Amino acid sequence: MNQKTVLSRLDGPVRLVAVSWARRERCVPLCSVTLRSGLEVSKITHIKVLGLALFAVFAFSMVAAASAFAESEWLWQGLAIPAGQELLTDTEGLLTLLVLSLTGVVINTIDCSALFEGDVLPGGVDLVLDAWTLPPAQSLIEELEHLPPVIGKSLDCVTESGVTGLCLAGEETLLWVDELNLELGLVWETLIELDGAVFLDHFHNVAFELLCITAAGDLEALCSGLTSALLANVAEVGVLVEFSEAAGIESEELLCVDGTEEFHVAIDGNLVILHEGGGLLSVS
């Protein structure tokens, strides 16, 4: 059984909780969660002190944030998810990474298609637990290991443009997730905010390593940061997650570091999030 550490809001404040389940043998429609006294990591294959520290800081900051966003909820079949339970989700779609110059001009577009497994919980909390390549292969996307020949399974993306860009157009670009490892309790967390008449989903940490081919050789960069997307209910389908131009909003850019060099990446495109067991998922 795998054990994951998640955030939930039981009787008010957001707390660390734990759920144990066998991968892909998940409870439907709702799973019960139980409180746990803290964040425990039994095995760390490579140390990520900063990432774990940021995860802990976020966990406690959510106590205050949850009350401010309490009016926003995930719904299943029109009803709010009960306290102490989670709803299992699959999110799929095409995202475009926009590599920006120092002046903010798009110099590369990189298309990536993926499937994300996750949970939605009471209080507008959403968790991304795993990332997968699309069916029929559907392989788990792993973190990059710097101990060849074991480097971890990557997502194969395509660089669509880049005349003056960092990455060569038409070449394959590889992407590994970072700070996303269910066995280590590392997840990507989001929280819904009602902003006027629209719902925003704030991703509190998105991180990945990118490897592409340039005229000067391989470019490897770690990209991370906060970003946001627009949520829209789609009748008889689920919830559409829209970034940047697709949403008519400006999603926050991610900072990418290649050694001593830095550049920014914006996310564009959209995903559809569905309940894994069927039924209509929505936001309110």
pLDDT in tens, 18-76: 333 333 344 455 554 432 222 222 222 232 333 333 333 343 344 344 444 447 999 99
Euclidean distance between CA atoms 204 and 179, whole angstroms: 12
Euclidean distance between CA atoms 211 and 167, whole angstroms: 9
What's the pLDDT score for residue 201? 95
Question: Which of 65-79, 135-149, 152-166 has the least mean pLDDT?
Answer: 65-79
Euclidean distance between CA atoms 202 and 252, whole angstroms: 10
What's the pLDDT score for residue 69? 45
Looking at the DSSP bridge assignments, the partners of residue 115 are 92, 132
pLDDT for 8-19, tens place per residue? 332 222 223 333
Q: Contact, 187 vs 207, CB < 8 A? A: no
Would you kindly state where each structural domain of the chain is located, as residue ranges?
Answer: 2-283
The count of other CB atoms within 10 Å of the CB of residue 147 is 9
Question: Which of 162-166, 203-207, 221-225 has the least mean pLDDT?
Answer: 162-166
Euclidean distance between CA atoms 156 and 108, whole angstroms: 16
The pLDDT confidence band at residue 270, using thresholds 50, 70 and 90, is very high
Q: How far is CA 82 from CA 32, 76, 187, 212, 240, in A?
A: 9, 10, 22, 44, 23
